[in-house]
Amino acid sequence: MRLIPAIDLKSGRCVRLYQGDFDAETQYPVDPLDLAQRYQSLGADWLHVVDLDGARDGIAGNGAIIRQLAQLKGLRLQVGGGLRDADAIQDMLDCGVFRVVLGSAAVTHPRDVAAWFGQFGAQRLTLAFDVRFDDHAVPRLATHGWRTQSQLALWDAVAQFSAHGLTHVLCTDVSRDGALNGPNLDLYTQAMQHFPNIQWQASGGIRDCADLQALADIGVHAAISGKALLESRIPVQELQAFLPSA
């Protein structure tokens, strides 16, 4: 399993939100480019970048920084946040981003997203499905920076794109995001059982090396970690097993 460090950008700063709440923001006094280079020096070969302004407003707000990050040699970027049309996707790919993350568009404009798999290729797209659980323990999608709750179940959302070559899915349990209370192992176990051919990326709650190992044992393809890495909660020597270039 590959560990992919996450950098969340808001108004040009590195931040973390608690459970997706824009009013529960923690700012970190570190330059995004310096942070990316730090992660690369530890052995990371991928970086997950979220434009939170774009996720909230639908208009990219941190494009200049993302373009800088995309020029780092030997580091592939996976970028999301407000990318809701083909022009926005093409712009990201043209500036050096390797894979674009689509979230809300997959719920609100599924036909367009299905067409983009043909246009851009399955290896250049990741679908981000952020979930909250209903009273019957069914994971249902949250969209638009997690402010809108959909009734679409995660399993139905994945199924409708399977025929179009869907390969990469990033799934976040919103209740775990930024909480450092452990990933939802049951969610990812179910995900692997429902769709074993999908390369699942787990996000939310990772706090230590034991969490990373538990996800690896399930068979998750990648783990996205933001807060735990930002706050140096996991010793570097324990991270190295999950960082390909360490």
So where are the chain's domains? Answer: 2-242
Full-model pTM: 0.92
Question: pLDDT class for 45, splitting at 50, 70, 90?
Answer: very high
Q: Between 116 and 174, name the one with better pLDDT.
A: 116
> What fold is seen in the domain 2-242?
TIM Barrel (3.20.20)
Q: Give residue-wise pLDDT tens across range 71-102.
A: 999 999 999 988 889 999 999 999 999 999 99
> Distances in Å between the alpha carbon of 158 and those of 85, 113, 171?
20, 12, 11
State the pLDDT at residue 242. 97
Q: How many CB atoms lie within 10 A of CB 197?
A: 8
Residues serving a catalytic function are 8, 130
Contact status, residue 230 vs residue 16, Cβ threshold 8 Å: yes
Q: Residue 204 in 3-state DSSP?
A: coil
> Residue 144 corresponds to which tokens in the numbers above?
């638009």
Q: How far apart are CA 49 and CA 14, in angstroms?
A: 10
For the cut 70, the answer to whether the pLDDT of residue 21 exceeds it is no
Q: How many CB atoms lie within 10 A of CB 159?
A: 13
pLDDT tens sequence across 159-175: 999 999 999 999 999 88
Reported confidence tier of residue 58, pLDDT bands at 50, 70, 90:
low
Which bin fits 167, alpha (ψ -120 to 50), beta or left (φ > 0)?
alpha
Q: Are 214 and 174 in contact (CB under 8 A)?
A: no
- What is the residue-averaged pLDDT of the chain? 90
